[in-house]
Chain A
Amino acid sequence: MGRTLATFTQLVQQEIDSWSRYRRALRREDQQALDVLFAAARHHASAGAYLARETPFEVMLLSMLIEQQKHVVTLQQKVMTLETRMHHDSTQGMAS
């Protein structure tokens, strides 16, 4: 007795397929961005499957946002490090 319902990974694939015309009409760089978003949805397939909601697209959107949020935090940290270093450099510069 195999599975009756599509797996979340299959649902992501179906969603990707349903956006294929949209993707085709995007510029190359935008297509790449779209692919990264759907990869994020795939990456969190386990959480999506566990939630088991009948409207999976909104679950995929949230998965994409999670990855976006992680990127934002990473960038914030990098900016903070750079700012600290700049601040350090400038105070050192003043001291010398």
Chain B
Amino acid sequence: MVVWLVGEDGRRIRAIDPFVPTCYLAAPPSIREHVFRLLRRASCRISTREVERYELGAPCPISVLEVSVHAPAQFSSLTQHLIRACPDAQFFHVDVSLPQRYFYDRELFPLVHCEADLTAEGRIQSIQALESPWDTDYGFPPLTIMELSPDSPSPNPNHGGHGSFVVRMDGEERLLEGDDADVIQRLNQLLVRQDPDILLTDWGDSYLLPRLMIMADQLRMPLELNRDPHRSIGTRKPRSYFSYGRILSHAGARILSGRLHLDRHNSFALAETGLAGLIEQARIAKVDLQQMARTTTGTGITSMQLETACRDGLLIPYRKQEPEAFKSARELLQTDQGGLVFAPIVGYHEQVGELDFSSMYPSIMVRFNISPETINCPCCRDEPAARVPEIGHHTCRHRQGLVPRTLAPLLDKRVRYKRLMAAATQPAARAVLDQRQTALKWLLVVSFGYLGYKNARFGRIEAHESVTAYSRDLLLQAKEVAERQGYRMLHAIVDSLWFVKPGAVRADYNRLAQEITERTGLSIGLEGLYHWIGFLPSRVNPLMPVPNQFVGLFDHGAMKIRGIEIRRSDAPFLVKRAQAEVLRCLSQARMLAELREQIPQALEIVRIYRRYLHDGHATVEELAITKSLSKEPQAYRHQTLSMIAAQELLARGVSLQAGDTIHYIITDADAAYLPDRARAVAGLDGTWSYDVSAYDSLLLKAALVLLTPLGVTATSLNESTAGC
């Protein structure tokens, strides 16, 4: 295993750790004979021995063959060969990525402060961590960062608008110009001279690095992106995948050796939690930083569970095979439910308190010991306290499960970060703590989905069902406590509840939270007290309530906004800005009566924006609409605007896949000739104009959703703001 170390003297050292990965297999003697024959033909040293190991939740160990591969580079191909050759054998520990296995085995993690004993040739004799991944007071590692971006005005350089390259380091910015040979030469010089640890790019995976690699290849010039001269640049192809009911695209990857390549436009973790959050996730999950940046958060939580299993000596099955236990159709009807969502009481309300159960689902898993092997265990069948509410399952009261064992320290660390955040005086320090706790929040969020995910190693549908059953019961308990004290529940979504009671102040809501916590045993806190909050009606059918669509003004002055244009990526910037201004205007009001007084001013804002649109002043940036392609662009049957823009890009030779994001403006929504209806933003020249009425109606809709509950109708809005 190649391990890169930064010495105390600042030297970057390429070290080799003689790590021997193992896998296990269970098979009858005849198949084992076959395995031995295959292993004897392997080209590297392999040792085997009989051992006894436990499967998760099994009462007795099974006898398995432990296969140790003394050349880690051959581990994957060898195990894959075995799996193909022996389909009837059961394999374990075969598909966990080796860097992760190495971290688990040596009790290390990415960017760990450690002590190592090296030979003169760089072989690691011993290595141990000097800190724990659960520490909260670690600093940013002493790494140098070089930034590389395209010098292009286009929202996505892959969609057109090629330009030169910009390099930034230590606050200095250089433009790499000239012909291709000049660019490669200049970049190589900078890479060798500055020798950065992290190459932080914009569009590096999909555009910059592939382009640079092609340029260097054509010129037969070396490209010094890798620090490790022994390795080539790792590449992964782009692909589309489903996640939480949405199709997403992955731009592929360019992975460096001895240096970390992070692409700001191809990293969920980086975008959501920043560099500090990404590092926190990599440390906790023990997933290599370049991998963590590009993978789903689910990989992180899975890695944590795998580590728990490895540490406890459990076998990690290759394919999950255990299906759902039979249940009657009646039971299925009861169990196949999600969390409870109470439709909101539409309209504006004042002095409302929002109470949130903190990390509800993972907390339920820990508190009620929900894990694949603890659900419906044979030992606690008759214990009333082990019953899951409303459904027929029970959980184990005797042994803590793998999932709770994994999640408990994670929950604890997030609480510690939140406490440190509250006490932090420096804004910069608080920002770092916030990024780290957000990183942990994401790991906790996906931990629930992974209980029910079909390919999850330690998932089980009954565990998933039990969590939601508890959540429903807890939400109802919270409702009952509050209603007994005269509160009215306005809205509730799974783990958040909005209550109102005439005259109730902050202390009352805090007391309510305290009582619910005592009753349920699960921590609930006051997310905030609103001067007012408006639950907004559906735009399609005003009679139908829409959950999670509201605007609220907290008593500390901040606003909480959900589900409307300002939060949506597909709304044009101009519409978002208009909505933001209307909201700012409404936020002057502290009470409902004052809110109504703000209406004339809000209408005036709308009028000014409409005039701006009609006068033709709006710019591309203000008008661009961002949409994610929900299907392969070739598979669309209806000519939607995003489809027309996608066709335009395809015709220009841009490659697009489902999940890709495109940007367009509406040019003439009703044009008979379809390509005239919309234009892609990338590569837009001076010859375009926008569809005033299409944007005007988007603008009106964005204003109307806020003003309808205050008595403004579509007609009155249109008439009172026309004046142009």
| A54 part of interface (Cβ distance < 8 Å) | yes
Contact A42 B343 (CB under 8 A): yes
A14: min CB distance to chain B, Å? 15
* CB <8 Å contact, B543 and A39: yes
Segment among B221-229, B262-270, B332-340 that sits at the interface with chain A: B332-340
A2-10, A21-29, A77-85 - the one binding chain B: A2-10
Name the A residues within 8 Å of B543 (CB-CB): 35-36, 39
Q: Is B454 in contact with chain A by the CB < 8 A criterion?
A: yes
A82 and B338 CA atoms in complex are apart in Å by 46
**How many whole Å from B8's CB to the nearest CB in chain A?**
49
Q: Does B464 lie within 8 Å of A1, measured CB to CB? A: yes
Q: A16 to B332: give the CA distance in the assembly, Å.
A: 25
- Is B504 positioned at the interface, with any CB of A under 8 Å from its CB? no
Name the residue in A1, A3, A7, A39 with the highest tally of chain B Cβ atoms < 10 Å from its Cβ: A1
18 extra A-B contacts, CB within 8 A, seeds A35-B543, A50-B476, A52-B334: A1-B464, A3-B336, A4-B336, A5-B333, A5-B336, A7-B338, A36-B543, A39-B545, A42-B544, A42-B545, A43-B343, A44-B343, A45-B343, A46-B492, A50-B337, A52-B333, A52-B337, A54-B330
Q: At the interface, is chain B mostly helix, strand, loop or mixed?
A: mixed
Q: Is the CB of A1 within 8 A of B340?
A: no
Roughly how many angstroms separate A1 CA and B464 CA in the complex, as a whole number?
Answer: 10
Please state if A50 and B453 are interface contacts (CB–CB under 8 Å).
Answer: no
Task: List B338-363 residues whose CB lies under 8 Å from chain A.
Answer: 338, 340-343
CB neighbours (8 Å) of B454 from chain A are: 1
B127 to chain A, nearest CB (A): 40
Which chain B positions have C-beta within 8 A of A46? 340-343, 492
Size of chain A's interface in residues, with CB distance under 8 A?
Answer: 19
Q: How many residues of B contact A (CB 8 A)?
A: 24
Alpha-carbon separation in the docked complex, A6 to B73 (Å) = 48
Residues of A within 8 A of B336 (CB): 3-5
Q: How far is the CB of A74 from chain B (nearest CB, A)?
A: 14
Q: Is B178 an interface residue (CB 8 A)?
A: no
- Offer 16 A-B interface pairs, CB within 8 angstroms, sorted by A: A1-B452, A1-B464, A2-B245, A3-B338, A5-B332, A5-B333, A5-B336, A7-B338, A39-B545, A42-B544, A46-B340, A49-B340, A50-B337, A52-B333, A52-B337, A54-B330
Residues of B within 8 A of A5 (CB): 332-333, 336
**Pair A54/B343 contact, Cβ less than 8 Å:** no
A67 to B341, CA, bound (A): 18
State A25–B285 Cα separation when bound (angstroms): 61
A53 to B333, CA, bound (A): 7
CA distance A36 to B541 in the complex (A): 11
* Complex interface bits, A28-72 against B, C-beta within 8 A gives 1, otherwise 0: 000000011001001111100110111000000000000000000
Q: How far is the CA of A50 from the CA of B333 in the complex (A)?
A: 10
Contacts A1-B453, A4-B332 given; does A49 touch B544 at CB 8 Å: no
